[in-house]
Each structure stands twice: as structure tokens, then as C-alpha cells.
Structure 1
């Protein structure tokens, strides 16, 4: 058994663990939404992040690589959720930094899309 095969097996095991934990977390979120009988934007964004993580894992298994735009979309969604969770009492300068980070990531996605349109 080569070192490469051990590393590949370990990688696949960890990716499967991530997939299982993501599905469990999504299930817990759905159960909480059903118990509260209320859905808010922050909940939808969290479920979208879970779906994107599963999509990223699926893309990896299909092509054995992760398109760089998927983690960037996840980061933008996470930052948007963070802004929503902070509410109105948040420091305006922090809001500018976070929204600036979203803009920067969006520009990076656009640049990557122009350079590598197949992703």
C-alpha cells in the first residue's frame, strides 16, 4: 500500500465525514424550523451554505477537483448571513468592512469567470 493511496483514502474518508455532518446539520436545521414554525432569511442562507458544501463535495467526486468559485460563493453567503445576524445595532464600520469583503469576493469570482469561463 503506497503513501498516495493512504492519503487518497484518508481524504475520501474525511470528505464523506464532512458530507454526513452537513446532512445531519441540515436535518437539525429543518427540525428546528419545523418546531419554531417560522423561517427567516438567516435560516435560508444557512441552508444554502449547507447545499453549497454538498455541491462542492459532489463536484470534487465528479471531477476530482474543486472549482475555486464554489468556496467563494460559500464565503459570500456566510458574510451576508453574518451581516443579517448582526442586526441594526452593529457598528457601521464593521458593516462596511463585511460588505466590502463581499464585493471583493464577487469581483474575484467575476475575474475568475473571465479568465476561466469553464468553471
Structure 2
């Protein structure tokens, strides 16, 4: 009979010994690959920041040409501001990177509610407001209980 405790591979208290084999990467390869991906990440973050600033500039120009400021315009500028903040946090590595996408989602949902206006189905307002509440709770949990 087979005893469940006796298997063909010996079990040890060291978790690294129970892991499957992983290919060994030389330190030179690791520096090149990780450094290359970090460089690509930084460049894409810079491009994202500049494109966001350009989009914010276009929005400000549209508001100026229109001659009036609407709540949807202000919320859109908040979205751009949050994207710039997310880029800054991602670039510097300081702060919680996960909170800014939640803030962006909350602002986008609020903007969606404002844009849909009075013609929107009341049930949809409740769903979107519920999503905002869930996102706010998630952000609060992330900020209150940081990883150790």
C-alpha cells in the first residue's frame, strides 16, 4: 500500500528545496534584462506623462474656446491630474501605485454619472454609485493596511 507520507521526493522543511527547478540566470544577464525593462518602463512613463499633459492642454483650450466651464470638464482635468500623479508615483517608486488607478476609476465613474445626466436609468446610477463605494473601500483598505 502507498503511504501518503512516503513519496518519491523527500520533503524537507526548506521551502526552496521543494520548488521545481528554475533556470539559472547569470548576474550579467539579470542586470541587462532587468535594467532594460526598467529603462523601457521609465521611458513609457515619461511618454505617458507628456501625452497626458498634452491632453490636459487641449482640454483647457477647448474650455477657453467654449467660454464656459462644466463639471464634466473639471472632472476630466482631475482625471488627467490623477494620471500624472500615478506616473510620478510609478516613476519614483514612492507611495502606493495601486491607489491611483482606483482614484482614476472613481473619478471616471463620477464623470460618467455627470455626463449621462437626468436621462439615465436610476438603476444605473445606483450601480455606478455602488461601484464608487466599493472602490473607495478598496482604496481605504490599501491605504490603512499597508503590506508589511
Give TM-score, length-normalised by structure 2: 0.73
Match of 1:24 in 2: 54
Report how far residue 24 of structure 1 moved. 0.5
Any stretches of 5+ residues in structure 1 without a counterpart?
A: none
Aligned pair count reads 117
Match of 1:61 in 2: 91
Report how far residue 114 of structure 1 moved. 2.4
State the Cα RMSD in Å: 1.8
In terms of Rg, which structure is larger? 2
Give TM-score, length-normalised by structure 1: 0.89
**1:22-61 deviations in whole A, cap 9, x for unaligned?**
0110000000010011001110010011011111111222
Structure 2 CA distance for aligned equivalents of residues 15 and 3 of structure 1: 18
Q: Does 1:75 align with 2:74?
A: no
Report how far residue 4 of structure 1 moved. 1.5
Any stretches of 5+ residues in structure 2 without a counterpart?
A: 1-28
Q: Does 1:92 align with 2:122?
A: yes
Q: Does 1:113 align with 2:131?
A: no
Q: List aligned pairs for 1:32-47, cutoff 5 A.
A: 32-47=62-77
- SS of the residue corresponding to residue 88 of structure 1 reads helix
Structure 1 CA distance for aligned equivalents of residues 137 and 88 of structure 2: 25
Report how far residue 9 of structure 1 moved. 1.5
Larger proportion of helix: 1
